[in-house]
Amino acid sequence: MKKTFVLVVLFIFPLVAYLFFASGVNNFGRLPVLQENIRDVGFMDKDQTFQGKITILGFLGKDVNRQKGVAFNLNQKIYKRFYEFNDFRFLMVVPEGEEEKVAALKQELEQLTPTHKWNFVFSDAESIQALFESLGSDLELNTTLGTPYVFIIDKEGNLRGRKDDEDEGTKYGYNAISVAELNNKMEDDVKIILAEYRLALKKNNAQRSK
């Protein structure tokens, strides 16, 4: 009996555990698409595009100084943990005229973390509203064209999020004012989408090597 028990512990249990987690990757390893083909940011800035990058999209609004808390929360809780991934970046949309304030903000962030993956696009109110509305979310921009919520955009320009969030049902964006939400929800969802693309890359490489 003892030998049988030892064999089960050493061989059978690890196999069962492997199969469980492997099936979990296949069944639960994708972050749901909530809106396909949102308007590409290239219409604001020809040097920017959502294609080919996992983008954390935010709208800072006219009062950049009031949004510093949002920026620093995101920097410390999300950006700092993931910026070294090649295909990951931040993109903040800001109304024209806020360039100096954004430059000052970027200098402050630079003291904490390298900011080469922080991108900023400046545009007019109509274009900012058009981009935001293309997300198809249940959220709104405030009177400064800003919001504390940020959004996960995949490499194909689709909005990703949750369809069965325990608090909101469909979760389009993540409230960057809430450290708990960044830690408990957004970090997990960024991990999922990064793992999804890494798994797809491994499959493609394996098929090419056959």
pLDDT tens for each residue of 110-130: 999 999 999 999 999 999 999
Query: If DSSP states are collapsed to H, E and C, what string results for 97-166?
Result: CCHHHHHHHHHHHHCCCCCCCEEEEEECHHHHHHHHHHCCCCCCCCCCCEEEEEEEECCCCCEECEEEEC
The β-bridge relationship of strands 118-123 and 169-171 is: unpaired
- Separation between Cα atoms, residue 56 and residue 65, nearest integer Å: 20
**Six-digit token string for 164:** 């069965």
Residue of 107, 128, 119, 108 lying closest to 44 (CA atoms): 128
- The share of the chain scoring above pLDDT 70, in percent, equals 82
- Separation between Cα atoms, residue 128 and residue 125, nearest integer Å: 5
User: What's the pLDDT tens digit per position in 10-41?
Assistant: 555 554 444 444 444 334 478 999 999 999 99
- pLDDT attached to residue 205: 62
Banded model confidence at residue 150, pLDDT cuts 50, 70, 90: very high
Is the pLDDT assigned to residue 103 strictly greater than 50?
yes
- pLDDT attached to residue 198: 87
User: What's the pLDDT tens digit per position in 163-186?
Assistant: 999 999 999 999 999 999 999 999
User: What's the pLDDT tens digit per position in 39-87?
Assistant: 999 999 999 999 999 999 999 999 899 899 999 999 999 999 999 999 9
Residue 191, CB-side half-sphere exposure with 13 Å CA sphere = 11
Kindly give, in sequence order, each residue whose CB lies less than 8 Å from that of residue 92, ignoring residues fewer than 6 positions away.
57, 58, 59, 60, 71, 102, 118, 119, 120, 121
